[in-house]
Amino acid sequence: MHWITRKANKLKLKIESQTELIVRDVQSKIFYPINLWESQKIDISKCIVVNGFWRSGTTWLQDTLSAAINAKAVFEPFGLRSDYFYKAMPEINPPQHDFTFLNLLMPYQDHNFGEGSYLKSIIDKALLDLLPHRNTQMTIRPISYYSRDRVVVKFVRASLCLKAIYNDWPVSIIHIYRDPRALIHTIMRIDYWRAIFEQLSLSKQLLQINDGRKNYFYKWEKEIFELDQQNLISRLAAYWALTEKYVLDSFSNQQKQNRFYIVNYDDMLLEGSDYLRRVLDEMKIEFNNLDLEKNWSKTSPTSVKKKSIGYGKRQGTDRLYSWKSDLNQSEQDEIRDIMKRFGLEYRLKE
């Protein structure tokens, strides 16, 4: 009889999930005129952009910040499921247009977005919560939500244009990074995420798009082509390292200034909500302490519960260290060697 219960529960979850998608879809369209009207009250200088590599804690941080500052939340404006990013392809001109390749693509802009840029239009609308699609709105919204005058936008694909966002809008930016061993371990142990990255080509993503990115990454051209022949762990480590290095170089003179801050996911989990309170105080961002505390321990909605590939589930702060037992020593050394090759070994903690 247990199998009947399991099937019933599975069917119930599926119905609830589909119902939520329909409600979010209807909400995004019906309430768009209200959002358009209310967008006039939004002060961009009080909005926040959250950025980080996939599986770095970006959604969790967005949820926590949105609650703490009573803001609207815009999820992944560059995500393919919301369709807006597809319209920017003529501007990016990638070497291929299949879903697998575009899903891992980070748009590049070194200093400013030009006039008429569709990418600029996407970000503009995101900061005003004017992207009416269910996949940019990850929750069902109460009516009171629409009167909020601040927005938190979160990206996993904005590392190569983060400085342009900083230059073009007076927005606060929080970039989150996570120990790459834990990040890679999380991707590898979940079938859904592993499948997304399986076809990752470093050379196509970093060298073969005609938008200027090669001017930065060409100095590692030999390493990039060499690593493209390696296994997924090596390619993942290199993609993280090279895009992270670009962020660090872009903001070499702005770290820990009012509008830009790099936070450490691992340190946040270890130190608790005091860590984020300190960051917001230093950035001079007003927040509600009770709402921050209340939402601190909530689970991220992107914590995918899929069948793993042999790694088991983790709870609490143990998720920080599960990579130590799940990644073998050879795999750990592999990641460390790549971090060292690109000068980021200092980001690794024992």
Task: Please tell me the total count of domains within the chain.
Answer: 1
Q: Is residue 3 part of a domain?
A: no
Q: Is residue 258 part of a domain?
A: yes
Rounded distance between C-alpha atoms, residue 15 and residue 118, angstroms = 36
Q: Is residue 124 part of a domain?
A: yes
Burial class (CB within 10 angstroms; exposed 0-12, middle 13-18, buried 19+) of 39: middle
Which residue ranges in the chain fall short of pLDDT 50?
304-315
Instruction: Tell me the DSSP string of 187-224.
Output: HHHBHHHHHHHTT--HHHHHTSSSSSTHHHHGGGHHHH
Residue 290: which of 273, 275, 270, 278 has the closest Cα?
A: 273
Q: Which domain holds residue 222?
A: 31-347
Q: Is residue 9 part of a domain?
A: no
Which residue type, as a one-letter code, is found at position 198? E
Cβ atoms of residues 245 and 252 within 8 Å = no
DSSP letter, residue 251: T
Collapsed DSSP state (helix, strand, coil) of residue 17? helix
Q: Is residue 234 part of a domain?
A: yes
Rounded distance between C-alpha atoms, residue 231 and residue 227, angstroms = 8
Q: Is residue 23 part of a domain?
A: no
Domain of 65, CATH number, reads 3.40.50
Cβ atoms of residues 68 and 292 within 8 Å = yes
Q: Is residue 7 part of a domain?
A: no
Q: Is residue 17 part of a domain?
A: no
**Lookup: tokens for 154:** 């979160």
Rounded distance between C-alpha atoms, residue 53 and residue 65, angstroms = 18
CA distances in angstroms from 223 to 184, 211, 220, 242, listed in the order given: 20, 21, 5, 11
